[in-house]
Chain A
Amino acid sequence: MITFMSNSDSEEEPCNERTSLMSAESPPVPSYQDGLQASEAGEAQAHRKRRAGSSRGPNNITGGETSGSGVPVRESALENDEEELTLKYGAKHVIMLFVPVTLCMIVVVATIKSVRFYTEKNGQLIYTPFSEDTPSVGQRLLNSVLNTIVMISVIIVMTVFLVLLYKYRCYKFIHGWLILSSLMLLFLFTYIYLGEVLKTYNVAMDYPTLFIVIWNFGAVGMICIHWKGPLQLQQAYLIMISALMALVFIKYLPEWSAWVILGAISIYDLMAVLCPKGPLRMLVETAQERNEPIFPALIYSSAMMWTVGMAKPDTAARGPSQQTWDAAEHGREHLRSPSHAESQMSETRSPVPTRPITSLEELEEEERGVKLGLGDFIFYSVLVGKAAATASGDWNTTLACFVAILIGLCLTLLLLAVFKKALPALPISITFGLIFYFSTDNLVRPFMDTLASHQLYI
């Protein structure tokens, strides 16, 4: 299950969002040796223990296969072991996804609550051409539905376009487009955001400083997202651009349209990922067939992935060595010179098989993480942000939506562990979120207000 989300550029450029949730495995290769799994399980277990710092024995994740452009190197586990492992490490992955989603939502809610710019209505996007300032309820409803139809059709068109480009291998075009859109996001939106925040807190900043700050921020962001960079920095940048995008949506989508759009997009997500002809599904399958990672600018990945091409899977040299996180840093350096690494590997293959060779481990290691598309981040944050902005019950509603979304994410990941293929991440969470938003706002709020005014506790 991967969630796909391509960053929409701005109001001017078309929004293109697709969401699905997928686990970051390439198609499993049948294992060839028993010793392999035992050693793998052993070292993965040790690795997990070291990393998680918990005393839980069975909590382990085996290093996954490389899903780079090279040949899949390592076997993760036997087929029947794989299911257990998947479910077992499910908890850790859920948390790895909880944290960024929570961070994104916190950023959005904090901004909404403090910066008034994002709650003022200053016009609408061209994607939602119908205004909602109409006098009658029916007219307003009709307008919002029409807005939704326009928006969804735009998204569908863009998605299909992207999938076609991908299928016909117009990689340069896609890359150029993504680079352009992330450029726009990183520079323009950050500029606006920073301007508004400074305005709110009445802090003065001169233009040269502003220029330097934004230039650095944007340049590092471009490098991190599209090229290589430390994983945490890349994650942080992805979270930030998701938050910026969500803020733009919250500002420019009229009220009812926003809710209807959220509902419609989760239905669309469901169909796009699960139907055999759905564009997202085709994208995922094509990417898997070609054994390529999906564009880094579109997905949030919770784990590192090193793509190393190794001709022969190396069984013996794996050994029971510990894989530490230092391996991560070490492995990155190795990544830059894959050819050097390969020669190193072929040399070290001959020595004693059971001798732990850490460099080898690093190169072959790939954390099997879960990937979540950026679109999901954005829409979750839009939901929570809208709840914070427009609900009169304020924090209660926001909190309720937050918990609802997290639970939806949990359930989705559980389904992921069961089904093991790309799943849409939006529907369950958004449904829960919407239900909780409307019910909390209308039902719980009067109850809690009355209780609080009498200071009663339940």
Chain B
Amino acid sequence: PAFGLFIFTIARDPLRIIILIAGAFFWLVSLLLSSLIWFIAVKASNPQDERLQKGLLIFGVMFSVLLQEAFRFLYYKLLRKAIEGLVALSEDGCSPISIQQMAYVAGVGFGLMSGAFSMINLLADALGPGTVGIHGDSQLYFLTSAFMTMVLIFLHTFWGILFFHGCEHQRWWEVAAVIIMHLTVSGLSFCNPLYVGSLVPSYLLMAAAAAWAYLLSGGSAQNLRRFLLCKC
């Protein structure tokens, strides 16, 4: 689905593609820094201690989430500057791309990159021979990974919109809500392999974020109804 989003909405406009790739780049850099911190922490600690390792992992995950949000903020700053530049350059005084579109594209960029990193090795291994969960792990590993990745991609997209909107209108509580949601989703994934605990709330959160982003983008229940009715 994320790819579908990409093809239908982003691939037409070159500027959006650039913003997408730049968004992916920013996510990548944040991942790099967070893994650097984790790596240092692991090297500096006792490799035998299981609990410590788990604790460090959790710490790494949280830190990574915070770093991602920090980079999203940096990216927002960069895009603001870029929009001013574009407005100055354009002929009719208005920017060729609005900040909301940018928010959407940035969110998709983040999401695609994070999803790709989460899934792609899995997919490559899935092409080869093997049985899922042979060592007593859950047999639904691939399925749940796929669903989790998808929900994460969508969530990144919505968070992008919410985040940028919050920054635009100086509503810091929105920004804080995004960060808290991100932390929650990551934290929920700690419940794995108890999949009920992680997938279901994540989807609920995604639905909530979707509705919120939709309302923020100017949609409403009437629009939705009209859209659906026109189609049928």
- Please determine whether B14 and A91 come into contact, CB atoms closer than 8 angstroms: yes
**A49 beta carbon closer than 8 Å to chain B:** no
**B152 beta carbon closer than 8 Å to chain A:** yes
Known: A399-B117, A451-B61. A410 touches B18 (CB 8 A): yes
- Please determine whether B25 and A59 come into contact, CB atoms closer than 8 angstroms: no
**A88 beta carbon closer than 8 Å to chain B:** yes
Q: Interface of chain A, helix or strand or loop or mixed? A: helix
Report the count of interface residues on A (CB-CB < 8 A): 43
Other A-B pairs beyond A56-B15, A396-B120, A443-B36, 16, CB < 8 Å: A56-B97, A58-B91, A91-B18, A393-B121, A395-B124, A404-B28, A443-B32, A443-B35, A447-B38, A447-B39, A455-B145, A455-B193, A456-B61, A456-B186, A457-B189, A458-B186
Assembly CA distance A56 to B15 (angstroms):
11
Task: Give, as a whole number of angstroms, the nearest-CB distance from B74 to chain A.
Answer: 14
Contact with B along A415-458 (1 / 0, CB 8 A): 00000000000000000000010011011101110111011111
CB-defined A-B contacts under 8 Å, sample of 29: A52-B14, A56-B13, A58-B90, A59-B96, A84-B89, A91-B15, A395-B121, A395-B124, A399-B117, A403-B21, A403-B28, A407-B22, A410-B22, A444-B31, A444-B35, A446-B42, A447-B31, A447-B34, A447-B35, A447-B38, A448-B117, A448-B121, A450-B57, A451-B61, A454-B57, A455-B145, A455-B189, A458-B34, A458-B68
**A53 beta carbon closer than 8 Å to chain B:** yes
- Please determine whether A57 and B65 come into contact, CB atoms closer than 8 angstroms: no
Assembly CA distance A288 to B207 (angstroms):
59
Assembly CA distance A455 to B140 (angstroms):
12
Known: A58-B92, A407-B22. A455 touches B39 (CB 8 A): no
Q: Please provide the chain B residues from 140 to 159 with a CB less than 8 Å away from any CB of chain A in the complex.
A: 141, 144-145, 148-149, 152
> Which residues of A are at the interface with B, using a C-beta cutoff of 8 A?
52-54, 56-59, 84, 87-88, 91-92, 94-95, 98, 393-396, 399-400, 403-404, 406-407, 410, 436, 439-440, 442-444, 446-448, 450-452, 454-458
Task: Give, as a whole number of angstroms, the nearest-CB distance from A72 to chain B.
Answer: 25
Assembly CA distance A447 to B65 (angstroms):
14
- Please determine whether A399 and B116 come into contact, CB atoms closer than 8 angstroms: yes
Closest chain A residue to B118, Cβ basis: A457
Residues on B with C-beta less than 8 A from A59 are 96
Assembly CA distance A291 to B217 (angstroms):
52
Assembly CA distance A440 to B18 (angstroms):
22
Residues on A with C-beta less than 8 A from B57 are 450-451, 454, 456
Assembly CA distance A138 to B15 (angstroms):
47
- Please determine whether B96 and A56 come into contact, CB atoms closer than 8 angstroms: yes
